[in-house]
Amino acid sequence: METYPGDETAIFTRVNPAGTLTLELWTGIYEDRPLRTEEQGHYYRTLIGFCTDLWHGKALLRDPLTPAQIESIKEFETLVICGGRLEPKVAHSENYRGKPPFAVVVPENPRFRGLAGLEVIARHRGFHRPLLIDWGQSSIKLRVHSQELTEIINREYELFPLIKDCELRPETAHSRLRHYYHKLISRFKSDIDSVFLALPVEINHKGVAQPSSYQGMGGNLSTLFSLSAQTPVYVLNDAEAAAVGSHEYLHGKSLVLTVGSGLGGCLCHEIF
């Protein structure tokens, strides 16, 4: 964990939850679009087959795992499926031919496990008025400490286009993200003491991100999301947040997947 100055005295911290290993598991097993009801069973079977290959150490990933990572993920005990793309009712044994070598769990309210994880981390760090933001590929989920309801903001693709549709200049992409974020924060700034962000991007321990479907979100994240010394910002990967938010469903070595526009993952041991 390291802290960075943003706007002079701003506090920006990359949170690394203990007992987790982030895995970006883009596989191309479905397109970036909603799944129709009749497609759900097929996708679930494909997903379980992919995870079975992971269990055996044979799955093909976008970025190949190191031998050490392959060994660490093999023979996990529990698969926990989070995210909003897969309907919870589809995750039943009758939708998969044969019994997988691991238990399969879909938590209650799987789409909001990232927010649940952010809330746990904020409380653990002693904050009482956090703004929680789970910034997904297709929507932003946010919750303010004093509200029980979750606000969902769909991605504005005209403002944040996929690179295959429209390639933005780097400075334009960065400026749009920064402005949008500050506009979002301004709605709550007088009533919060911190911001906890889960992002759909691979982040190293220094808070530097790999490129994502949001153009401009790569690089040093503090230049995008830092605020001030009075409002510290804490950031982590969305699958890490979902894993923390699903801690009561973990059993032994567990693989937590976030099934959204892409497929993210986090291998967990003892989080708490």
User: Looking at the whole model, is its pTM more than 0.85?
Assistant: yes
Name the band, by pLDDT with cuts 50, 70 and 90, for residue 34: low
Whether residue 3 has pLDDT greater than 60? no
Task: Give residue 94's pLDDT.
Answer: 55
Segment 21-34 mean pLDDT: 69
- What confidence tens digit (pLDDT) does each residue in 153-204 have? 999 999 999 988 999 999 999 999 999 999 999 998 788 999 999 999 999 9
Burial of 214 (0-12, 13-18, 19+ CB in 10 A): buried
What would be the CATH architecture of the domain defined by 3-17+111-238?
Answer: 2-Layer Sandwich (3.30)
- What confidence tens digit (pLDDT) does each residue in 91-149 have? 665 556 678 999 999 998 999 999 999 999 999 999 999 999 999 988 999 999 767 77
Report domain extents, the chain.
3-17+111-238, 20-109+242-268
Task: Give residue 5's pLDDT.
Answer: 41
- What confidence tens digit (pLDDT) does each residue in 197-225 have? 999 999 999 999 999 889 999 999 999 99
- What confidence tens digit (pLDDT) does each residue in 62-105 have? 677 788 888 888 999 999 999 887 777 776 655 566 789 999 99
